Amino acid sequence: RLGDNLLAIYTDASSIKKGTGIGIGVTALDYKQQAKEIYSTKYNISKGQIVYNGELGGITRAFKFAASIATATQEIQLGKSTAQTQQRQLTAKAQ
């Protein structure tokens, strides 16, 4: 959907090795700009947390970002990042 007025935001959270916390990543791609990455952040929530908390944190951060830049005519999609999704992103960027 390159060229569409679409903002796609992907989130992911996972446990970090050796019990140092939960890593969270959020990435936003603007398909109007050929799937250009316009936002990316990675952060860690402390030990004692569960991955579910990280997933919720990523979704919250994604919604806050979307709310800060959304326009009335823009379509926004939020999805969980997976290897398949990341491959599609790379393919879209290469085209």
Would you kindly state where each structural domain of the chain is located, as residue ranges?
A: 6-84
Distance CA 63, CA 77 (A): 10
What's domain 6-84's architecture?
A: 2-Layer Sandwich (3.30)
What is residue 47's predicted lDDT score, i.e. its pLDDT?
84
Three-state helix/strand/coil letters over 11-43: EEEEECHHHCCEEEEEEEEEHHHCCEEEEEEEE
Question: Does the pTM exceed 0.85?
Answer: no
What is residue 90's predicted lDDT score, i.e. its pLDDT?
47
What is residue 20's predicted lDDT score, i.e. its pLDDT?
80
What is residue 17's predicted lDDT score, i.e. its pLDDT?
79
What is residue 48's predicted lDDT score, i.e. its pLDDT?
86
> Which residues of the chain fall short of a pLDDT of 70?
1-3, 81-95
